[in-house]
Structures are given as structure tokens and as C-alpha cells.
């Protein structure tokens, strides 16, 4: 009995260790987010390069984000594709601006643009 309980516990630990925590709209809402670095290999590093968004974001609700640089609200959408989380921003008059999004912790996330040959990433931290 002890052996099977220990085996089940070890299996659970391995399963949970392999699962990455996905970001949700609720994680983003509340406070201002500022890009403090680029985002490389799922870590902060280099200079922030993410267009309008580097100056700051404030997620108002599950569909609206205030973009500091433009002094305007954009629509946004989170989705999961093949196990990866994506965020699509909808700047007025432009169309869709997609990024992969990674939750680092409750006060930090990173985004990476869709083009491998163009460095386009930012590491955001929630201002306190």
C-alpha cells in the first residue's frame, strides 16, 4: 500500500512539474505593466522591443487594454494554440498585432512577436 501511494505521489509531482502555468485575463487585469527588458529564452534579457506596448499597458477588463504610448484603448484577446498562449492586440485602424505570451509569475509576463528574423519581445512587470 505504501509503495503504491509513494508511486502515485511521485507521478503527480512529475506531471505537475511538466505543466506550465498559463496566463489568463484575470492575471493581467489590475495595475500598470511596464516593459523593463526584452524577453529571450523565457527570461528577461536585452532591450524591450515591442512597439506601442513598451511604454506601458493597463488591462481594463477581459477585452480592453489601455496603451500608454497611444493614449488609447485597444481591444485584445487571449487564446491557446497547440499548448501555447497567444495575445492578439487590435490597434484601431491597423488590424491584428499577435504575440506569444508567457506568464513568469503573478507580477511579470513576457511577449514574443511572430517573426523569428525580427527581434520583437518585451518583459513586463506590474508596477506597485
The tally of domains found in the chain comes to: 1
C-alpha to C-alpha distance for 120 and 27, rounded to whole angstroms: 22
In a domain, 35, yes or no: yes
The CATH number assigned to the domain holding 39 equals 2.40.128
Per-residue pLDDT tens digits of the chain, which is 128 residues long: 554 443 333 333 333 333 458 999 999 999 999 999 999 888 999 999 998 999 999 999 999 999 999 999 999 999 998 899 999 999 998 899 999 999 999 999 999 998 766 678 999 999 97
Residue at grid coordinates 522591443? 49
pLDDT of residue 118: 66
Report in angstroms the alpha-carbon separations of 121 from 14, 57, 83, 94.
30, 14, 20, 19
pTM for this structure? 0.80
In a domain, 99, yes or no: yes
Residue 15 grid coordinates:
506531471
In a domain, 9, yes or no: no
Amino acid at each position: 500500500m505504501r509503495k503504491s501511494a509513494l508511486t502515485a505521489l511521485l507521478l503527480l509531482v512529475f506531471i505537475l512539474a511538466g505543466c506550465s502555468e498559463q496566463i489568463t485575463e484575470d492575471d493581467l487585469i489590475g495595475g500598470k505593466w511596464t516593459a523593463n527588458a526584452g524577453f529571450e529564452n523565457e527570461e528577461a534579457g536585452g532591450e524591450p522591443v515591442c512597439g506601442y506596448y513598451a511604454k506601458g499597458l493597463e488591462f481594463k477588463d477581459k477585452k480592453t487594454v489601455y496603451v500608454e504610448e497611444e493614449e488609447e484603448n485597444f481591444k485584445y484577446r487571449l487564446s491557446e494554440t497547440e499548448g501555447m498562449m497567444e495575445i492578439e492586440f487590435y490597434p484601431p485602424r491597423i488590424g491584428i498585432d499577435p504575440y506569444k505570451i508567457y506568464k513568469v509569475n503573478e507580477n511579470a509576463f513576457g511577449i514574443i512577436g511572430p517573426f523569428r528574423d525580427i527581434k520583437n519581445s518585451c518583459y513586463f512587470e506590474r508596477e506597485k
